[in-house]
Chain A
Amino acid sequence: MIGAAPVRLEAHEVGKWFGEVVAVGSCSLQVGSGVVGLLGQNGAGKTTLFKLLAGLITPSRGEVMLDGLPLRDHVGLFRRVGFCPESDALPGWLTGREFLRMLVRLSGVDGAKVTGRVDDLLERFSLTDAANRRLGGYSKGMRQKLKLAQALAHDPDVLFMDEPLNGMDPVSRHHAIGAIRQLGEEGRTVLVSSHILPEVEEMTRRIILIHRSKVLAEGDVTEIRDLIPEHPTVVALRCTNPRRLAALLVQQDHVMGVECEGDDRVVVRTEHALAFYRALPGWLLDAGLPVDEIHTVDDDLASVFNYLTGD
């Protein structure tokens, strides 16, 4: 399972094909609460999987379940789902307020609460001043904010966000990332589809990686990184006695190679980074070796993505 318990969203051997083209092969997933990034290259099947999980398209095989119920068979379950589409083509003839009002009503919010809810959303996304302007005059960033606002219109506990930061300026982007992280911390399930890895990395360490129509990996980036034996993890340590540290480390399990770089840096290649990190403090304490800094060079999302996809 990916994310915190309990399992909220499940895919059982879900597949989708269009004629002879397989968009998504057989895919099984269990997603709990928290922010999860759905990553993949263009054409990998990311958007199709995203829409399958969001219940927007019918799978050719398998089933998507929300809290144990088939999402496609229970229209009422969509009260718990929020969706932020990728495209920013919105009805230009509506004002921001009208647009949100309609979608809040369609989400089944009590008529008496609609106005208050719309006002709250407009304020939360700093759109109050533009609320009565037509969407045709909104900037790309404002449209993006409005799309996020409509996804939250009915306080859903499962959110699907397709490229949610597209077109946002750096300040709005920073706020949006904070807002998305907060949604995850509140216990909601937030599935974010993106191809901009640093953005996803700022939101979460939990990912689902899809490549050539198949789920290639799912889980925490560090854990996934640890499961790629053909690319040992590179760990850099800074200390005052690098030669002694190198001699100590080269004898240890999980260490595949050690290099001294300059006067104060040791670079270690390990096939099992998590075990290495668990054991490292003990080795250092036993040897009485102080270390000033430790950091993993290539367990970031981009490295994991590149190692797994071979690009």
Chain B
Amino acid sequence: MPVHERGYTHWNPSGARVDPPWLVIARRGLAAPMKRRWPLLLLFAAWVPAIVKGVIVFVRAKAGELMDLAVGGDWTSISPAGFLSFIEGQRFFVFLVTVILGAALVAADRRENGLSLYFSRPISLLDYLGGKVLVVMAGYAAVTLAPSLLLCLFGYLVEPSAASLDLLLLTPLRLLAMTAFVGAGLSLVLLALSSMGTRTVLVVVWWAVLCLAGDAIGNIGDGIGLDSFQYVNFMGHWHNAVSLIMSSEARLPVPPAVSLVLCLALMAGALLVLRNRIKPVEVVV
């Protein structure tokens, strides 16, 4: 008759400090690429435009409107619309950072049978997805939200006034809302691509097609006067959809509401794909 040792039931809730699973997954997802030097260099490079913008903000504050003539456009402005322009300009870095952080997130788990290891533990699909989405969103925020928020603070410090208080209150809220929507949407789509197979390189190719080729096709359409080409501008739709939040004019010759519907449909589709693909099915090789 075996001795029933019950001393190992220490997992019963006892007020112990237990990290939520999504946080453990997110932390691991972020720690791995940060061990290497080049993702850090890329993050640094992604901040160069913000530094340039900061310098322009500073010089304009000192040299007046002359700078607007020299550089011009929304990009130099520290208004919400200016930040949307700035974030649009970051799209190449967004592509690189998200693909580095997110391309392998589900594909590698499928390849390395991580899914059966995850889901044989007290982890729900929501925990798993939450952790993975957080990894990509963190990367997205690092090259868009974080420099924008710092520029808000910098802008206020350069020209402190009652009017520029908006930079400390409303603009950060708009930026947060925008980042939450675009970051979550891009993360879900990227993760859905990542869940479609086990080869990371294919995810990179598809993400490049979506982010870069869509943008290029849209621009070609602009060049030859065909607005309908912009319907395939994947990144453009996200920025167009949030143009209302950022009090900006539409970023595409497509109504923002249409872009919003497209983006929501993409998110719903991505969630459906993820729900069907993330299963603890072991691939024995």
A residues in contact (CB < 8 Å) with B:
4, 33-34, 47, 51, 54-57, 75-83, 85-87, 89-94, 98, 102-103, 105-113, 150, 154-155, 157, 160, 162, 184-187
Contact = CB atoms under 8 A, between A and B. Distances in A.
Interface residues of B, number: 41
A166 to B, nearest CB: 10
Contacts of A94: 32
B282 A106 contact: no
B120 interface: yes
A51 B9 CA distance: 24
Contacts of A82: 120
Nearest to B127: A75
Given A83-B116, A155-B8, A187-B3, A89 B283 contact: yes
B114 interface: yes
Given A57-B279, A83-B116, A85-B117, A105 B2 contact: no
B249 interface: no
Contact of B117 (A55, A98, A150, A184): A150
B122 interface: yes
Kindly list the 6 A-B residue pairs having the minimum CB-CB distance in the complex, ordered from nearest. Answer: A83-B120, A155-B8, A110-B16, A187-B4, A111-B17, A78-B122
A contact patch SS? mixed
A75 B113 contact: no
B282 A78 contact: no
Nearest to B17: A111
A91 B114 contact: yes
A296 B3 CA distance: 30
B3 A76 contact: no
B284 A34 contact: no
Nearest to B284: A87
B114 A111 contact: no
Interface in B107-121: 108, 111-114, 116-121
A74 to B, nearest CB: 9
B265 interface: no
B3 A186 contact: yes
30 contacts: A4-B2, A33-B4, A51-B280, A51-B282, A57-B279, A57-B281, A78-B119, A78-B121, A78-B123, A83-B116, A87-B282, A93-B32, A94-B32, A98-B28, A102-B28, A103-B117, A106-B122, A107-B11, A108-B121, A108-B122, A109-B10, A109-B11, A110-B10, A110-B16, A110-B18, A112-B16, A113-B16, A160-B120, A186-B3, A187-B5
A78 B120 contact: yes
A75 B117 contact: no
Given A51-B280, A57-B280, A107 B285 contact: no
Interface in B153-180: none
Nearest to B33: A93
A183 B212 CA distance: 55
Interface in B183-240: none
B276 interface: no
Residue among A93, A106, A110, A155 facing the most chain B CB atoms (10 A cut-off): A106
B7 to A, nearest CB: 9
Contacts of A110: 10, 14, 16-18
Residue among B1, B112, B124 facing the most chain A CB atoms (10 A cut-off): B112
B49 interface: no
Nearest to A55: B120
Nearest to B3: A187
A208 to B, nearest CB: 19
B25 interface: yes
Contacts of A185: 2-3
Residue among A85, A86, A94, A184 facing the most chain B CB atoms (10 A cut-off): A85
